[in-house]
Structure 1
């Protein structure tokens, strides 16, 4: 089992979320929960599905998708002051 956080750009309404969730949740061993306001999807896979294939499923619906690297996001935070420049 693995979990990935995805940034999904191009969604214009909550129906976009429904389309993505229905398409991926219909796949065996795949679950995705998408937040329209944040443009984030949490993908959990218990089967043999490959990340690249699942991203392609979303991209075929017209969205831009990329994996969010939480470790990189943490290191990109500004350490100069509480208020970043």
Structure 2
């Protein structure tokens, strides 16, 4: 099992976060919790699923995504602008 924090850009409402969760949580051995206000997702994976393939699922839904270095995360959060519907 492995976990990682993702920065997800392009979400404009809570339904965007719900759509990402539904898409990835439907995959076997994958669990993600997405926070729309923070623009982050916490991903937990059991098994052999590769991070790159999961990121591609998010990109295919029209969002920008990258893995966040937890040591940098606090400084990155300050520079992110909030988007609104």
Using the size of structure 2 for normalisation, the TM-score is 0.83
Greater relative contact order, per chain length (Cα 8 Å cut-off, separation 6+):
2
Runs of 4+ residues over 2 Å off in structure 1: 71-76
- The equivalent residue for 1:2 is 2
Aligned length: 76
Q: Secondary structure of the residue that 2:48 maps to in structure 1?
A: coil
Using the size of structure 1 for normalisation, the TM-score is 0.83
Q: Distance in 1 between matches of 2:61 and 2:18?
A: 12
- The equivalent residue for 2:63 is 63
- Which structure 1 residue ranges, 5 or more long, are not aligned? 77-85
Larger radius of gyration: 1
Is 1:36 the counterpart of 2:2 in the alignment? no
- Which structure 2 residue ranges, 5 or more long, are not aligned? 77-85
Q: Secondary structure of the residue that 2:66 maps to in structure 1?
A: strand
Q: CA RMSD in A?
A: 1.7
